[in-house]
Every structure is written in structure tokens, then in C-alpha cells.
Structure 1
């Protein structure tokens, strides 16, 4: 039994005449009569009464037609769902990101993607750069956003593009001697209690800091998981927080932010994904990234 047999039976029930039903489904009357007869033999029951006044479904026919309508509707729905999935309109996207990506990059990007793809299920996980890279390589994530491109075994299978750049700033409580200053010099941080991201969570960031700041000051630094914790500890007077300049959008009234001189550029904010991943949802997300983030389009050339 094929879908066309269901359509033939439904057409015959609607038109109650073999000739009109055949015209409706686009075949000649004799083949339609043979197909209905073959269908009845396969089922083992007469589906239609042939009378001088027309062709009418039997009780068996009515039961069959009810299921036939549902089956064809399901088939049409399956085709529709498959098409939407193939276009990236449905499905799932698993995204891992560092907390600072929520300050500038992700709000407009995820907002636009959500509006344009309301039926895609977003699975969002805040995690360190190191953890998100490992999860991406293990197939637990579709996209990872962190500081610097992933490294290590398997990283050659990933595609990484820069989606943001930033510089280092210092944040202090309003009672700190640096409060009110536009900038501080890197050597002024030597004797300060610092608040920084953990080295095991953000290795690229910590390596960059060690290249320009006093290693001893970094060794005794207080570790904070994200920029909001750095802001909070600075507000408490615990020390001088070191963070990306984008934390200005989350600044608190009880903190003060100073530029660090000379300027210290931080590792780039990088979006990574498996190069062989041909998921339609991923392709749609990358397309949204192209349109939302200036300068990213050329780096994503050849994708989607």
C-alpha cells in the first residue's frame, strides 16, 4: 500500500464517481478502478459500494478513510518538518560561552537569532574557555565562544573566527586611591592585591597578563570566576580587578574603572565550531553572526 492508494480512495469518496475521481487525481478511469480493486483485495474488505446512483464508502471504507486522512496528514507534516529542519528553522543549538561575552557580543546576536528562528531550541552554557573548547571537541557543544582559539589535540578540526577584541582595564572600589583617576600604569599594580580570572579557566588571558604584569602580584591574586564577581570584589575593597574593557556596560555605582597604561590588548574573543559540522541550524547561526557582527563575514567565507 502506497500513499497514492490513500489519495485515490479519498478522491473516490469525495467525488463518488470513478470518472470524476480519476480526473481529480490525474489518471484515467480504468487504472483508478484497478487500483481501488487491488486495494480492496490487499485489505480483504470491500471499501466502496458501486451503485447506479454513485460510489459510496462501506462501513469498512469509512474506517479506512478516517485512517487514510490521518496518515496523509502525518506524511504532509513529516515532509514539512523535514523541510524546515533542512533550512535550519527547527532543531537545537548548543552554545558554550564565557561570561564576558554576555556584555556586548551575545545580547544582540542571540536576540536576533531568536527572533528569526523562534523554533530553534537554544541550549546555553556559561563556562570557561578551556571547558567550552573541551566540550566542543567532545561533541557536547555546537559553538564555543572564549578568549583565544582552542588548542591541543583535535583543535585542527575546529574552525575559529575572531568576533571581538578588547583591552585590559582596572576596576576599583570608590574608596580606593585609584578611584577618580583616568588611568593607572602597569607598574603601579605591582604592590596591589589583584583580582583576576583563574589561570586554569582562562589560560590565554592569564598568559597574556603574565607577559606584561608582575608575575609575583599575579601569583597572590584573588581568583574570580567572571567579570561580575570581579566587579563585586572590587566594590568590597578586596583589591584591583583586572578585566576586559567591555565590563563598563555592567559597571556599578560603587566602582571606578581605569585604563591601564601602556595599553594591554587581551586575547581575541573567538567563536569556534567543528569545521565538518554541516548542521543547518549551525549554518543559520553563522549566517546571523555574519550579518550581526561587522568584519566577521570575510572570516566565515565558504561556510553556509
Structure 2
């Protein structure tokens, strides 16, 4: 007994369309005897006569007409399956989960994500705003495909990640337009220490501590906010002097003023991380967009990928 294969379906459809074994065989690129043999084998497998062979030509029987409806549908579905498989292999469909800190949504991610969405409109793009510890944990736990945070992820599994800088910042202060600092180009750490402060939650616990090493009391008493937009809003409400990354200046609000902090204090870089051995074509397509749109990231990224043990071992 011969199992029905895709070629049997194509043979039956071609024979129905041409109504002649010779012409059908020619359209299929095979000889007539093998086509006759395969159609006979198909009829034995189905258990019904599918074609009437007459002197006027070959015509589907009632059973053949019913079979051909399903055969054409199956061939069409197989064609769509091949197209879907090829598109998935090119990263044109699928899902990409990205966790980001709010400052990255000011720059450079709007350009990157916008161009990626336009180039891959059928990819399900899931972007979640998180703190740096949350994006790191999400990537290490497998809940994210890409993490963008301030500094690279640490802890168990971090050695399996590729992490590349995508943006640099220094510290700035933001105040209400009515605050005495408004209009000044800069403020000193000593001036900040005398003011109520508003900082991001994870910043207070990490990279701002060295700035207030001599007197941690102002930082310990600071109000905390989840993101830079909240910091700017609280500063506008005169709740305190907000501290955040220099890209926070991109927030367009007429009721706040930004000052540089003196001495200039560099913050940890914005870093993009992903699993080195992740085979996702969608991730590969996203990285291509990053290469084209983030200055100096492309060559650095390619170098990291070329030397990463998780990839070179594969």
C-alpha cells in the first residue's frame, strides 16, 4: 500500500486540468508511464476510481471531483506553509520581547523600534518599561529577548549574554521653572546636597552613591520615582530637585529647567543585552536594524559576537 504524498496530489490535479495523460505528464516534467502508474497507485490507496479513461480524454469521476477539492486545498495550504516557513526563517514573523529603562525610550530606541516595526510589520513587538534590575532579571530568566538597561546584567547566566553599549550620559539636575536654580547652566554637588532630591529608585541604590559618598544623608532622604518622566513631573511640582541622565533634556516641558552637575559625573552607559546563542531570526533582524541606526554599535556588536564563547563553541 502506497501512502498519499504531495506529488500524488499534484499529479491528480494536473491530470484533471489537462484531461490527458501525455499533456499532464509533460506539464509535470515526467514521462507518461510513471504518471499512469502513480495515478493507479493513488486510486488503490484511496479505494475509489478517481478518473474515467475514455477515447475522448480523461475525466474525474464523482469520487475524483470530491478528492480534487481536498487535493487543491491541501496543495494550497502546503504552499502557504512553505511561504510562512520562509518568512519566519527571515525574521518577518514571530515575537520579540524587549525590556527597557525609560531613558532609552527618549534615545536611541524610538528610531530603532520605529524602523524595525516598519521593516517587520507582522512581528509581534512587545516593549515593556522597567527598571535596570528588572530588565536584567527578565533577560536572565528567559522572559525577555532583549534588555536595555543602565549597565550590563550581572549574576548567574550573565556569561551567556552579549552586552553592547548603545548610549552614554552624564548627570543633570531638573528643577521647576520657579526654582532658584532655574536659569543657571549648572549646580554643584554641594548645592544639591542642601536640596530635597528626587531620583530613580535603582539609581539611589547604585550609581549615585559615589556622588554623595562624603555625605549620604541627602540621597538617603531623597524621594524616589520609577522613571525620568516622573522625576521631571515631581520637579515641576516643586517636590524637589530631580537627578537623572542627560538625555532627560529631550523631555519637552516648559515648566522645568535642566542644569549640568559640577563636577561632570558620568553615568553607567545604556547597554543592550541578549542571549549570545539565541537562534531567533527575529532577534537577528532586530540586531541588523540596531547596526544600521546606532552609531559605532555595529562593529562593536559584530566583534563581541565573533569572540563570544557561547557562539564560537557552537
TM-score in terms of structure 2 length: 0.93
Deviation, 1:208, is 2.4
Number of residue pairs aligned between Structure 1 and Structure 2: 300
Q: Residue 143 of structure 1 corresponds to which residue in structure 2?
A: 146
Q: Residue 282 of structure 1 corresponds to which residue in structure 2?
A: 283
- How far apart in 2 are the matches of 1:76 and 1:300? 37
- How far apart in 1 are the matches of 2:74 and 2:206? 61
Q: Residue 94 of structure 2 corresponds to which residue in structure 1?
A: 91
Q: Residue 2 of structure 1 corresponds to which residue in structure 2?
A: 5
Q: Residue 118 of structure 1 corresponds to which residue in structure 2?
A: 121
Please show how residues 159-174 of structure 1 align to structure 2 within 5 Å: 159-174=162-177
* CA displacement, residues 34-58 of structure 1 (integer Å, 9 cap, x when unaligned): 1101100110000000111000000
Deviation, 1:12, is 0.4
Q: Residue 100 of structure 1 corresponds to which residue in structure 2?
A: 103
- How far apart in 2 are the matches of 1:31 and 1:227? 73
Deviation, 1:176, is 1.1
Deviation, 1:207, is 2.6
User: What residue ranges of structure 1 are gaps of 5+ in the alignment?
Assistant: none
> Which of 175, 192, 197 does residue 194 from structure 1 map onto?
197
- How far apart in 2 are the matches of 1:226 and 1:27? 68
Q: Residue 263 of structure 2 corresponds to which residue in structure 1?
A: 262
Q: Residue 238 of structure 1 corresponds to which residue in structure 2?
A: 239
Q: Residue 298 of structure 2 corresponds to which residue in structure 1?
A: 297
Secondary structure at 1:301's aligned position in 2?
helix
Secondary structure at 2:182's aligned position in 1?
coil
- How far apart in 2 are the matches of 1:209 and 1:125? 24
Any conservation in 2 of the 1:197–1:206 contact (CA below 8 Å)?
A: no
Deviation, 1:186, is 1.3
Deviation, 1:206, is 4.3
Deviation, 1:251, is 3.4
Any conservation in 2 of the 1:133–1:150 contact (CA below 8 Å)?
A: yes
- How far apart in 1 are the matches of 2:177 and 2:32? 90
Runs of 4+ in structure 1 off by over 3 angstroms are none
Deviation, 1:278, is 1.3
Secondary structure at 1:66's aligned position in 2?
helix
Q: Residue 223 of structure 2 corresponds to which residue in structure 1?
A: 222
Please show how residues 16-31 of structure 1 align to structure 2 within 5 Å: 16-31=19-34
Q: Aligned-pair RMSD on alpha carbons?
A: 1.2
User: What residue ranges of structure 2 are gaps of 5+ in the alignment?
Assistant: 307-314
Stretch of structure 1 that moved more, 134-143 or 244-253? 244-253
Secondary structure at 1:184's aligned position in 2?
strand
Stretch of structure 1 that moved more, 208-217 or 291-300? 208-217
TM-score in terms of structure 1 length: 0.96
Any conservation in 2 of the 1:5–1:35 contact (CA below 8 Å)?
A: yes
- How far apart in 2 are the matches of 1:259 and 1:206? 21
Any conservation in 2 of the 1:231–1:251 contact (CA below 8 Å)?
A: no
- How far apart in 1 are the matches of 2:219 and 2:211? 11
Q: Residue 253 of structure 2 corresponds to which residue in structure 1?
A: 252
